[in-house]
């Protein structure tokens, strides 16, 4: 069916509500807009759905949510998991309440129990709830840190992690098999409750989740003592983090937590920021203003679904607040956890940490120093969750910490997704302990750099929207794949990894060996002098991403090398 036929069906068929039909009729003279909304079905990928909110097959709306949920329901029924049920959470975005309810009612209409949170909750708590309730699956309605016009639909499996192979492709097949809107079931909430299929969850899960986090505190007495003095400024960026972050900090002993008032309450329009992303310096503008007013030691921001954490901390030499990348905050927490456990004899012979392939190589040095194994996985925290699961099932390996460069990490195994709430807790605990040694978090970061080397990383993205953009990204990846460079800037390429072909090619010897990871559309260049470059399309946005890593002799030298390599790489991308 071509996009115009699809468009006319949505305009005329009374299956679609009057508001949807009116929205579409209003764009009747805009063929480009019609094409963008209907040239394809919004792709149900390996993590679920993510897209712009609006009417059309290529948009996030009640109908695309229903279709996706019907496919998931069909899969759950095939697996005999109806009675286990599905946990459902949602964030502060526009339509999150409606989408989460629609998903729940579709499941119930298929005879599957739905456990829906009574109000918005962070992503990691949904991951926790799946396992706590013994559910076969979970759904989280969120677009994470995307702009306000987006929403999303993430699917989790019974281990509490986002779906991985082969489950992801099997669910995708079921979703794609829903070819007729009349195949999609739904029912009223009253009927679902009457049949014992719809359950509302909340406080009991909250209490258990917070209780699990508190077990992870290593130095509770220091936290309680320093917590009377240390000052923390925090912003939830209008999202889900406000209540759980404040609660955990209060309960472990931090008494001086200042929440940015303009960004405290949930608001899916994100009125104070263009982009609710803690990776963006602009997102910290109000938090840094408050930090200067109260003379804060740490400044923290979580994204709307509270799985990513952004950090600023004071440099004791200059008094300035310095920003941390996701790699830096990950290394601060990793170094703290491993050092504390090593000191207490708590590290096991089979202890391991995990990083993604685009995360800092400093992690390898930290693992080597503490005598723990480092495991590497593809981009996506679900693969870190998968390694935790494999270790538990095999009885081989004790998970200590996992992180990715995009501001996400996990301390503990209570969840199987990145958790900014526990990251806040761990980071503040670390700050308290280093405070007793006369160090700020930034001072400690410099200690770490001097200890392991000045590893610095960067990310450049090119946004290419629409059908033409998707084709351009595809051709860019293919051009690099078929004609990989032997030199990038001043660096020689040592080896070339093509994860789609599952090959690592040594350029000097010509030897080819497997990557050892699943196939994925990712290209990676190991360069000399501890540098590297990685290229991949975004799985959630119309972007192609270029990751860069270098090692310098100082902070300034590393930054200079990173900037030079980035400039050379962007010339190549033109």
Q: Are 40-201 and 209-452 in the same CATH fold? A: yes
CA distances from 545 to 375, 461, 463, 464 (A): 23, 5, 9, 11
Given a cut of 80, whether residue 46 has pLDDT beyond it is no
Instruction: Report the interhelical angle of 242-252 vs 203-214 (nearest 10°).
Output: 50
Dihedral, CA atoms, 59, 63, 68, 73, nearest 10 degrees? 170
Catalytic residue selected from 92, 127, 137, 144:
144
Residues 6+ apart with CB under 8 A from 358: 379, 404, 405, 534, 536, 547
Residues 6+ apart with CB under 8 A from 279: 145, 308, 310, 326, 406, 407
Predicted TM-score (pTM) of this structure: 0.94
Mean pLDDT of the chain: 95
The stretch 298-312 carries a mean pLDDT of: 98
517: its two tokens:
């990871």
- The pLDDT of residue 539 is 72
- Asked if residues 213 and 421 have their Cβ atoms less than 8 Å apart, the reply is yes
User: Which DSSP string corresponds to 224-276?
Assistant: HHHTTT-EEEEE-TTSS-HHHHHHHHHHHT--EEEE-GGGSS--TT-TT-SS-
519: its two tokens:
């196939």
| CATH superfamily ID and name for 40-201 | Alpha-D-Glucose-1,6-Bisphosphate, subunit A, domain 3 (3.40.120.10)
CATH code given to domain 209-452: 3.40.120.10
Q: 518-561, pLDDT tens digit by residue?
A: 999 999 999 999 999 999 998 767 889 999 999 999 999 999 99
- The pLDDT of residue 45 is 81
CA distances from 115 to 101, 105, 377, 570 (A): 10, 11, 31, 47
Q: Using CA atoms, how far apart are residues 157 and 48, in angstroms rounded to an integer?
A: 12
Architecture of domain 455-573: 2-Layer Sandwich (3.30)
Q: 336-355, pLDDT tens digit by residue?
A: 999 999 999 999 999 999 99
Q: 56-105, pLDDT tens digit by residue?
A: 999 999 999 999 999 999 999 999 999 999 999 999 999 999 999 999 99
Q: Domain limits of the chain? A: 40-201, 209-452, 455-573
Mark 417-441 as b/e (b = at least 16 C-beta within 10 Å). bbbbbbbbbbbbbbbbbbbeeebbb
Q: 136-172, pLDDT tens digit by residue?
A: 999 999 999 889 999 999 999 999 999 999 999 999 9
Measure CA 349 to chain center: 30
219: its two tokens:
């130095």
In the chain, the percentage of residues whose pLDDT exceeds 70 is 100
Q: Using CA atoms, how far apart are residues 219 and 570, in angstroms rounded to an integer?
A: 46
Q: 9-29, pLDDT tens digit by residue?
A: 999 999 999 999 999 999 999
Binned at pLDDT 50, 70 and 90, residue 1 comes out as low
- The pLDDT of residue 466 is 78
Note if 144 is an active site residue.
Answer: yes
């Amino acid at each position: 069916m071509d996009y115009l036929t699809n468009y006319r069906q949505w305009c005329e068929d009374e299956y679609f509500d009057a508001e949807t039909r009116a929205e579409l009729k209003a764009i009747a003279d805009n063929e480009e807009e019609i094409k963008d909304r209907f040239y394809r079905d919004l792709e149900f990928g390996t993590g679920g759905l993510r897209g712009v909110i609006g009417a059309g097959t290529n948009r996030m709306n009640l109908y695309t949510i229903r279709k996706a949920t019907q496919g998931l329901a069909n899969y759950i029924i095939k697996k005999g998991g109806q009675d286990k049920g599905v946990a459902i959470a949602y964030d502060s975005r526009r339509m999150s309440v409606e989408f989460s309810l629609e998903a729940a009612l579709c499941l119930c209409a298929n005879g599957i129990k739905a456990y829906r949170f009574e109000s918005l909750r962070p992503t990691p708590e949904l991951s926790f709830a799946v396992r706590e309730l013994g559910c076969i699956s979970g759904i989280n309605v969120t677009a994470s840190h995307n702009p306000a016009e987006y929403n999303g639909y993430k699917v989790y499996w019974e281990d509490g992690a986002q779906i991985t192979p082969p489950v992801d492709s099997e669910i995708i097949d079921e979703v794609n098999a829903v070819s007729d809107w009349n195949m999609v079931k739904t029912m009223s909430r009253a009927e679902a409750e009457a049949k014992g299929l719809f359950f509302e969850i909340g406080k009991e899960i909250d209490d258990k989740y917070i209780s699990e986090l508190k077990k992870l505190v290593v130095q509770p007495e220091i936290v309680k003592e320093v917590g009377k003095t240390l000052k923390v400024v925090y912003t939830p960026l209008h999202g889900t983090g406000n209540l759980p972050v404040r609660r955990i900090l209060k309960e472990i002993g931090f008494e001086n937590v200042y929440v940015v008032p303009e960004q405290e309450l949930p608001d899916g329009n994100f009125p104070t920021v263009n982009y609710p992303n803690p990776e963006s310096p602009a997102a910290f503008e109000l938090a840094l203003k408050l930090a200067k007013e109260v003379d804060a030691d740490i400044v923290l921001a979580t994204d709307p679904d509270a799985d990513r954490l952004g950090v600023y901390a004071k440099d004791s030499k200059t008094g300035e607040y310095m920003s941390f990348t996701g790699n830096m905050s990950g290394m601060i927490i990793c170094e703290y956890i491993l050092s504390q456990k090593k000191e207490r004899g708590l590290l096991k012979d089979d202890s391991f940490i995990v990083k993604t392939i685009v995360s800092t190589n400093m992690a390898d040095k930290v693992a080597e120093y503490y005598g723990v194994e480092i495991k590497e996985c593809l981009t996506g925290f679900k693969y870190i969750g998968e390694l935790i699961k494999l270790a538990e099932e095999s009885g081989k390996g004790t998970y200590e910490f996992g992180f990715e460069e995009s501001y996400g990490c996990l301390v503990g195994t209570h969840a199987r997704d990145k958790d900014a709430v526990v990251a806040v807790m761990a980071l503040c605990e670390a700050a308290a302990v280093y405070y007793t040694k006369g160090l700020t978090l930034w001072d400690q970061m410099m200690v770490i750099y001097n200890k392991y080397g000045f590893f610095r990383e960067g990310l450049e993205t090119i946004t290419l929207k629409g059908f033409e953009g998707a084709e351009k990204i595809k051709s860019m990846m293919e051009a690099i794949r078929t004609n990989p460079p032997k030199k990038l800037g001043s660096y020689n390429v040592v080896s070339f990894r093509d994860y789609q072909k599952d090959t690592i090619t040594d350029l000097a010897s010509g030897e080819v060996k497997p990557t050892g990871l699943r196939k994925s559309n990712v290209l990676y260049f190991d360069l000399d002098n501890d540098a590297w470059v990685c290229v991949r399309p975004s799985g959630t946005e119309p972007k192609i991403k270029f990751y860069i890593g270098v090692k310098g002799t100082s902070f300034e030298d590393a930054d200079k090398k990173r900037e030079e390599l980035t400039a050379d790489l962007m010339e190549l991308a033109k």
